[in-house]
Chain A
């Protein structure tokens, strides 16, 4: 994407990409072929020949090829070869000038033209040709026609006399000397001679001709220009660096505009100009300088020319003894690049060649300019490696590419005097070491962008769930690093456009990563000890603040990536790493350290070898190499250590052995096999550097150990020596072997580069080294992870890499001032670098320790807030994952908390950890139904307590669930802590867990009691939270916590308050009691909390719950009227059915409690009404959430059952169901029995309580009535007694030992309730008695009644009065005698019967009438209507009669009759 925004004109990248696209088209290049060809010719042509011979041989070769191509009609090949031929011919211009155009050349041209014309005519054949060929044909035809015009005379002569021409060759050559100018003239002549038409035809040729003419017109004075132009022509055939492929494509592609081609030519000319070097420049300055200069120039060319055939024959590198200078190298480079993009070009070989070239350039100290140029090309080649745009780079290519870019950047950083730009023309390049700065065409930015794209491509094409992906991802660190370096480079040198582009790249690598560090910082949890680190700005801020601390960026980005690491098994590693803590704290020399490092690697490699883990081997080997490079200075001093050589030899042997073992190879997994081949190649390459040593070792393995010291002496500075050796070898060995050696190029080159950089560049390289070291080592926190890499394999390489970078930063920080200075004076002196190295050494000492002990933090790791937070996040990552040991996780968190506390990291982080511990505890049970284990529960309570302690102690901690992670402030600072989390939620969850525990404990076990004891703690926590939130929380939170508090209060009877209210609290009470009763009355608390909720709550549910609890509480404490009023005010009865089940359960509980309260208060009717709904359903148990009823499975599946089980109310909150039923039945009895007595003869007697009647019927069905056993039987027996007015029996049935223990003793004020009950029984018995037996009395003395029912006379009086008033009793009171005089107006049973019958008959008649009506409706005739009318007329009479009867009845029987219709209760 960045391409589209990048406004730069980096033609390079464009070209290369376009080359990519076009490359596949390039038909039948024979570059490779020619290489092979030359291989063959290698041995034959070792004779020194004249330049002419060489040239001519070259030409004949091309001609031969063309003739062959002609024979097989391969036009594209033909075209290609022809172009080369033309180029070669131009090259041999001086010779041709001297010798004349060779006859064979003319012959070919003529033949070719004829051949082409012939082909062109052959329409049939053309049709058969494939597209490429046809295209090539037409191109070639045009070209040759154009070209041949230059040789018209020769060709004409040849055509005239084909046989002769061969003989005349010599003469013609003589004639044709200086042919070009002549021919130009000829052209002019021809131009004048030919007709206008032909001229027109000629027009297209104009440009080139014109230019040629111009050239010649300029004359010798303008030699330089003309030679420039010539160069152009050469370039036409030859090529510039990048445009090589295109220019060759021009003819084929046809899509290229001539202008571009022309431009390129000019560019090419520039390059050659540059190649010509100082002389050329001079030449340019004095344009129109003398011929001598031009001759000299030509001579210079000759020299180079001399090399060319060698290149051809031994095309690998330069001939021995060739003076290697910049132009030579550039030429070679161009040659190599010519092949670029051509089909059949071995791109790998090309890359190798370029590498070799780089090495050569470096060896010969040709200056950084040329090196940079070569590097550019190497990288471009690497990008070209894959012809397909979709294909992605191979891993090794990718690595190479990264290395290359790194090196390039190194060079650029080291040498401020290199100017790079894509707008630098080829001819204005300055590659030669001089006072002037180097100027190189190219664009690093484009390369880096391309690299970034390649990285994306690689990532896209890797299976994201494979280890490979992770490994690849590890490279992101390097990519980022490169981008950063480029960024810092461009910030100094680049244009704003470029800076923008590179910034975008940086952004692209930053934006999607969460900056944990910054987040943590922002939360203020970072301790003061970490201030230094903490103050580093985040990566993104960099773009706004132009500070140059790239370290912080890197470190932060490292942080960001860490959490991504999937499926870490750090627990394992944690356990692993415990032991090795205390080892290796000795101060040792640098050498020792280095060597120990090396030996460590070697050990690992040997182990890997033993288990045949090739990939590990490879990895370790790479690390080893790097380590070895790092220890270069030491090695230089001390020589290559023997153990190193031994390992190399062994490893090679081992690998070869493995390689031979085909069977074993097959069995290997893919990764290993790949690693094996890679490693084998690597080691072969690598071992070449140590050939002598290895040979020596192999000869004398035993001895070698002894000789170690000597060898070391010998090998001091071995690397440079060996490099030299290489050169020698390169010269000595045959070309073939040289070829083989080529692949070593990169490493050698880099080595060479490094050494070339010399001491001046030490610091930079050491920087790099640092990074490399980190590769193996590790940073503080990441210790655990990095050790996981090997085990878990799931860790991304990128992370590790990043971490290394981060580590580097950290060490950098530690290094402090020194480092900073160093940064300022990049490329500073060696001394600094050394110091740096030392600093690193120290850290190294610690690093392996980290590896070995990743448990928490490495010993000596500075523990600060970000580190802890990081660790915390790591631990939490595993949360919820399958296979995570939750217990261990909790332990880890605890340990972390301890560490945090020990290090005084401040309360912020502690709070955060505590939060997570508690959350983990809750998570412990994966199943929602399962409940916490006792120990977990205790831990949880402790934790919450501690958390609250902290919160209370530190008022400056802000907690909230709405605090974003990145706005947390965990660091001790002036600002208050800010922690994400919600204590309230935790406490609520705790409360739920408590409920769950209680639900799942057998209520009749001691365990239950034990668990119940925790309720105090739970309440305590809630209270504490309440007081905390009252200060800090929002009203919503307060409401929630209030509800929790209410939930724990409402169902408890406040004995203290009860006692106080009764005034029973004597002074004699013990102090403890006093103390106990100090607290606020629960009623007051309830009142306060509930009222707050009523006022503030906005969620309906909380308010509903609060109201219900409030009512319950009132009812429980016998505040009947308050409870009732609240219930009526809430209107909950209307809409409770819409509430969720738990609330409905609460409602049911409340209603039941209300009913019981009413009963205690003697409001029998209210009690009955309140309880009716619950009791009539027969599902009281279920409705109150106190147990599940056994029901068939269709109604409730297992899932539902689980849900219902979760709703159950814990046992200690249960309402006694027997009490409930008893209260209900007794209420029903007290209502129903008098009612039954009063309406004995009513036809349609309403039942007040079905339940009660059911019980009565059950009682009646008993064949034999024994003394009552159950509560129900007691009630039934009592009812029967009451029916007879026998209150004493009734009383004895209702209130006795059994019933007391079963029911009545459960009331708080047992005695009062019993008294009330007795009184009620007496009253109702009296009423029943009067109803039942009034017919047998004329009058009855109230005194007698009062005696009978043991009621005071006024009570009896009032009851009877009420009955009389209610017209239940037909009697009057005779005041003087205190007697009740019966009016005897009750109808006899017969009369009652008759009345009933009459009523029934009435309805019968009505029904009959209805039938009659119906009939009339259908058959409504006149007659019928009349009849009906008559019938209806009769009706009034009847009604009158009835009315009269009723009236008559009313006189003496008002009550009885009317009561029938009256709803008594």
Chain B
């Protein structure tokens, strides 16, 4: 039923407008239905509201296709068991799975998201470390809210090689980003997903579809959109605020910088003048001094956060655009239907 459609929709809507060359070792991701269900189940059992659930993806790289065959969740650790060792848990978990002859290769991790606000520093860092260690690692983002609206939202992302470079060098300055020509657009590359089910399951699904009632099918036609939009706008606004702050920060920085440049310039000029005077008097010129010591350049604000915020905003916008376009269609359809009736 829905799952089949979703799978198709999921695969048919590659969200990332990746202009990237996709020269990564993974060109496609094939997810077992089991993994999808497990992730959904995990969220439904443990996730609540804006809470995020995470887990480990297991699978195997076949050619340029990453096959994710299984996963296991990270337990929701609270403040009480701070000494919980995630690594230990993972290793044991994988060992156990190997014992029962399940794919035990670590190929990434998954995370739920709230209105697509997944692009964060934490995600970037952990994905970087994954990708650094296991080249083919992906992060699977599951959006439960969109899923609840009737369209399964599951996306796989990888860091672009450029970003990997920057992250490796930890160079988040304006210059660094400029040199790597990394924008919010090409921070992540989205890898197309294919959900693969066994034939038996496909058969079962077909059968179930026949038995389903019409009401079940009209979920998609829900016209009430304001809630989702409002939330999105709210989040968008928050991010815009953040961005605004960053810009102000950058503004002051650049102003300070220019001021300093001016001072430096003046200083140099004065020095030069003096030197020429001294030369005319036959005195030795003043020794060159380290100007950088005299004028310590102000600390440049790290641009990575700004980049990430921009990324989030981008996501939001995409979400809103997608949502509104769908809704518009629905509204027109509804109008037409009304007019017809």
**A1400 part of interface (Cβ distance < 8 Å):** yes
User: Which single member of A1407, A1408, A1417 contacts B258 (CB below 8 Å)?
Assistant: A1417
**B134 part of interface (Cβ distance < 8 Å):** no
**Judging by beta carbons under 8 Å apart, are A1408 and B230 in contact?**
no
**A117 part of interface (Cβ distance < 8 Å):** no
Smallest Cβ distance from A1408 to chain B, in angstroms? 6
User: Which single member of A1389, A1397, A1410, A1418 contacts B237 (CB below 8 Å)?
Assistant: A1397
**Judging by beta carbons under 8 Å apart, are A1407 and B248 in contact?**
yes
Bound together, the chains give a CA A1389 to CA B233 distance in angstroms of 10
User: Which single member of B226, B230, B233, B251 contacts A1410 (CB below 8 Å)?
Assistant: B251
**Judging by beta carbons under 8 Å apart, are A1401 and B240 in contact?**
yes
Smallest Cβ distance from B164 to chain A, in angstroms? 28
| Complex interface residues of chain A between 1362 and 1408 (CB less than 8 A to chain B) | 1388-1390, 1393-1394, 1396-1397, 1400-1401, 1403-1404, 1407-1408
| Complex interface residues of chain B between 255 and 299 (CB less than 8 A to chain A) | 255, 258, 261
Residues of A within 8 A of B234 (CB): 1393
Smallest Cβ distance from B253 to chain A, in angstroms? 10
**B250 part of interface (Cβ distance < 8 Å):** yes
Bound together, the chains give a CA A1400 to CA B258 distance in angstroms of 27
**B29 part of interface (Cβ distance < 8 Å):** no
User: Which single member of B237, B240, B251 contacts A1414 (CB below 8 Å)?
Assistant: B251
Residues of B within 8 A of A1408 (CB): 247
**A1188 part of interface (Cβ distance < 8 Å):** no
**A1411 part of interface (Cβ distance < 8 Å):** yes
Smallest Cβ distance from A182 to chain B, in angstroms? 109
Bound together, the chains give a CA A1418 to CA B236 distance in angstroms of 33
Smallest Cβ distance from B146 to chain A, in angstroms? 18
**B254 part of interface (Cβ distance < 8 Å):** yes
Smallest Cβ distance from B316 to chain A, in angstroms? 10
**B202 part of interface (Cβ distance < 8 Å):** no
User: Which single member of A1388, A1397, A1407, A1417 contacts B236 (CB below 8 Å)?
Assistant: A1397
**Judging by beta carbons under 8 Å apart, are B248 and A1390 in contact?**
no
Bound together, the chains give a CA A1415 to CA B226 distance in angstroms of 41
Residues of B within 8 A of A1401 (CB): 240
**Judging by beta carbons under 8 Å apart, are B226 and A1403 in contact?**
no
Bound together, the chains give a CA A1403 to CA B251 distance in angstroms of 13
**Judging by beta carbons under 8 Å apart, are A1414 and B254 in contact?**
yes
Residues of A within 8 A of B244 (CB): 1400, 1403-1404, 1407
**Judging by beta carbons under 8 Å apart, are A1394 and B233 in contact?**
yes
Assess A1389 versus B247: contact at CB under 8 Å? Given A1397-B237, A1400-B241, A1414-B258: no
The chain B residue sitting closest to A1415, CB to CB, is B254
**Judging by beta carbons under 8 Å apart, are B261 and A1418 in contact?**
yes
Bound together, the chains give a CA A1393 to CA B229 distance in angstroms of 10
User: Which single member of B230, B243, B250 contacts A1389 (CB below 8 Å)?
Assistant: B230
Residues of A within 8 A of B233 (CB): 1390, 1393-1394, 1397
Bound together, the chains give a CA A1403 to CA B241 distance in angstroms of 9
Bound together, the chains give a CA A1396 to CA B233 distance in angstroms of 9
For B229, B247, B261, which residue has the most chain A Cβ atoms within 10 angstroms? Answer: B247
Bound together, the chains give a CA A1388 to CA B229 distance in angstroms of 12
Assess A1393 versus B237: contact at CB under 8 Å? Given A1418-B258, A1418-B261: yes
The chain A residue sitting closest to B243, CB to CB, is A1404
**Binding site secondary structure of chain A:** helix
Contact digits for B213-255, partner A, Cβ 8 Å, 1 yes 0 no: 0000000000000100110011011001101100110110011
Bound together, the chains give a CA A1422 to CA B250 distance in angstroms of 25
**Judging by beta carbons under 8 Å apart, are A1388 and B258 in contact?**
no
Residues of A within 8 A of B226 (CB): 1388-1390
**Judging by beta carbons under 8 Å apart, are B255 and A1414 in contact?**
yes
Residues of A within 8 A of B258 (CB): 1414, 1417-1418
Contact-size category for A: 10 to 19
Residues of B within 8 A of A1407 (CB): 244, 247-248, 251
The chain A residue sitting closest to B262, CB to CB, is A1418
Bound together, the chains give a CA A1388 to CA B230 distance in angstroms of 10
Residues of B within 8 A of A1415 (CB): 254
Residues of A within 8 A of B230 (CB): 1389-1390, 1393
Contact digits for B3-47, partner A, Cβ 8 Å, 1 yes 0 no: 000000000000000000000000000000000000000000000
| Complex interface residues of chain B between 178 and 223 (CB less than 8 A to chain A) | none
Smallest Cβ distance from B8 to chain A, in angstroms? 31
Residues of A within 8 A of B248 (CB): 1407
Smallest Cβ distance from A1390 to chain B, in angstroms? 5
Bound together, the chains give a CA A361 to CA B251 distance in angstroms of 121
Bound together, the chains give a CA A1394 to CA B229 distance in angstroms of 10
**Judging by beta carbons under 8 Å apart, are B251 and A1411 in contact?**
yes
Bound together, the chains give a CA A1418 to CA B258 distance in angstroms of 7
Residues of B within 8 A of A1388 (CB): 226
The chain B residue sitting closest to A1407, CB to CB, is B247
Bound together, the chains give a CA A47 to CA B250 distance in angstroms of 137
Smallest Cβ distance from A1336 to chain B, in angstroms? 16
The chain A residue sitting closest to B234, CB to CB, is A1393
Residues of B within 8 A of A1418 (CB): 258, 261
Smallest Cβ distance from A1389 to chain B, in angstroms? 6
**Judging by beta carbons under 8 Å apart, are A1411 and B250 in contact?**
yes
Residues of B within 8 A of A1394 (CB): 233
The chain A residue sitting closest to B249, CB to CB, is A1407
Residues of A within 8 A of B251 (CB): 1407, 1410-1411, 1414
Residues of A within 8 A of B255 (CB): 1414
**Judging by beta carbons under 8 Å apart, are A1411 and B240 in contact?**
no
Residues of A within 8 A of B236 (CB): 1397
Residues of B within 8 A of A1389 (CB): 226, 230
| Complex interface residues of chain A between 149 and 179 (CB less than 8 A to chain B) | none
Residues of B within 8 A of A1410 (CB): 251
The chain B residue sitting closest to A1397, CB to CB, is B237
The chain B residue sitting closest to A1418, CB to CB, is B258
Residues of A within 8 A of B237 (CB): 1393, 1396-1397, 1400
The chain B residue sitting closest to A1410, CB to CB, is B251
**Judging by beta carbons under 8 Å apart, are B247 and A1404 in contact?**
yes
**Judging by beta carbons under 8 Å apart, are B240 and A1397 in contact?**
yes
**Judging by beta carbons under 8 Å apart, are A1411 and B243 in contact?**
no
Smallest Cβ distance from B173 to chain A, in angstroms? 16
The chain A residue sitting closest to B232, CB to CB, is A1393
Smallest Cβ distance from B189 to chain A, in angstroms? 27
Bound together, the chains give a CA A1418 to CA B254 distance in angstroms of 10
For B233, B241, B243, B250, which residue has the most chain A Cβ atoms within 10 angstroms? Answer: B233
| Complex interface residues of chain A between 259 and 275 (CB less than 8 A to chain B) | none
Bound together, the chains give a CA A1414 to CA B258 distance in angstroms of 8
The chain B residue sitting closest to A1417, CB to CB, is B258
For A1393, A1396, A1415, A1417, which residue has the most chain B Cβ atoms within 10 angstroms? Answer: A1393
The chain A residue sitting closest to B244, CB to CB, is A1404
**Judging by beta carbons under 8 Å apart, are B254 and A1411 in contact?**
yes
Residues of B within 8 A of A1400 (CB): 237, 240-241, 244
Bound together, the chains give a CA A1394 to CA B244 distance in angstroms of 17
Bound together, the chains give a CA A1048 to CA B182 distance in angstroms of 78
Smallest Cβ distance from A1460 to chain B, in angstroms? 15
Smallest Cβ distance from A319 to chain B, in angstroms? 111
| Complex interface residues of chain A between 1402 and 1460 (CB less than 8 A to chain B) | 1403-1404, 1407-1408, 1410-1411, 1414-1415, 1417-1418
Q: List 19 A-B contacts (CB under 8 A).
A: A1389-B226, A1390-B230, A1390-B233, A1393-B230, A1393-B234, A1394-B233, A1397-B233, A1397-B237, A1400-B240, A1400-B241, A1403-B244, A1404-B240, A1404-B247, A1407-B244, A1407-B248, A1411-B251, A1414-B258, A1415-B254, A1417-B258
CB-CB nearest 8 A-B residue pairs: A1393-B233, A1407-B247, A1400-B240, A1390-B226, A1404-B244, A1397-B237, A1414-B254, A1390-B230
Q: Which residue numbers of B lie inside 8 Å of A, CB to CB?
A: 226, 229-230, 233-234, 236-237, 240-241, 243-244, 247-248, 250-251, 254-255, 258, 261
New contact pairs (16) apart from A1407-B248, A1411-B247, A1414-B258, CB-CB < 8 Å: A1388-B226, A1390-B230, A1390-B233, A1393-B230, A1397-B240, A1400-B241, A1401-B240, A1404-B243, A1404-B244, A1407-B244, A1407-B247, A1411-B254, A1414-B255, A1415-B254, A1418-B258, A1418-B261
